[in-house]
């Protein structure tokens, strides 16, 4: 089964610095993976902290069926995709928002970005400054930071990503201020 841990946060200029009125919490690089029920080809453990929700650190654990990931949480960018094979998973990554992203993004990423095999883990990091509106009527920005941990495993243990040494680490973080 494909195991995904998605750690992400969103904030605005008002909360970006340490001396901000509402400083945002710093999320950990990885979290203990909760126990899952049997069944499902893909499981996602999501941890997020969003300024619009007063930076409460929220966690959820859900199986993902089909293309539901793309439309799962409409308030966040979803550039990650995968295709499962019998003994592998092709991992893909696209531009999170061609019209709103104001920071660097590679002009070309291979597709698949990499192939994950049983027992392997991988990590993808990206961040960005994005426009509030696509049409330019709202010229303010918001910022997002994402970490995707991925593993192909039969039964994930709680320390799956805490002790991981990723086979692949794709780092697309850039200066976003």
pLDDT tens-digit series, residues 24-77:
778 999 999 999 877 789 999 999 999 888 889 999 998 988 667 766 555 555
On the question of pLDDT at 22 being above 90, the answer is no
Torsion of CA 54, 55, 56, 59, to 10 degrees: 140
pLDDT digits (tens, 9 = 90+) for 65-117: 866 776 655 555 578 999 999 899 999 998 888 777 888 888 899 999 999 99
Distance of CA 89 to the CA centre of its chain: 17
On the question of pLDDT at 12 being above 90, the answer is no
By the 8 A CB rule, do 109 and 90 touch?
no
Query: Nearest to residue 141, comparing CAs of 128, 150, 160, 155?
Result: 128
Kind of pairing, strands 121-131 and 168-172? parallel
pTM for this prediction: 0.90
Q: Which residue has the higher pLDDT, 81 or 122?
A: 122
By the 8 A CB rule, do 84 and 148 touch?
no
On the question of pLDDT at 173 being above 70, the answer is yes
88: which residues sit within 8 A by CB, 6+ positions away?
A: 115, 116, 117, 118, 152
On the question of pLDDT at 153 being above 80, the answer is yes
How much is the pLDDT for 82?
Answer: 93
Across the range 145-161, mean pLDDT stands at 94
How much is the pLDDT for 38?
Answer: 72
């Amino acid at each position: 089964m494909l195991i995904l841990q998605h750690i992400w946060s969103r904030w605005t200029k008002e909360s970006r610095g340490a001396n901000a009125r509402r400083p945002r919490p710093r999320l950990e690089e990885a979290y203990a993976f909760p126990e899952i029920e049997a069944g499902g080809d893909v499981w996602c453990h999501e941890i997020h902290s969003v300024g619009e929700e007063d930076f409460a650190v929220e966690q959820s654990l859900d199986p993902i069926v089909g293309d539901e990931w793309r439309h799962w949480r409409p308030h966040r960018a979803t550039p990650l995709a995968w295709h499962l094979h019998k003994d592998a998973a092709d991992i893909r990554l696209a531009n999170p928002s061609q019209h709103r992203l104001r920071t660097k993004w590679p002009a070309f990423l291979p597709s698949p970005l990499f192939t994950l095999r049983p027992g392997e883990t991988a990590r993808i990091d990206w961040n960005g400054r994005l426009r509030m509106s696509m049409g330019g009527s709202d010229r303010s920005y918001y910022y997002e930071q994402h970490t995707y941990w991925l593993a192909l495993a039969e039964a994930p243990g709680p320390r799956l990503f805490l002790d991981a040494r990723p086979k692949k680490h794709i780092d697309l973080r850039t200066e976003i201020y």
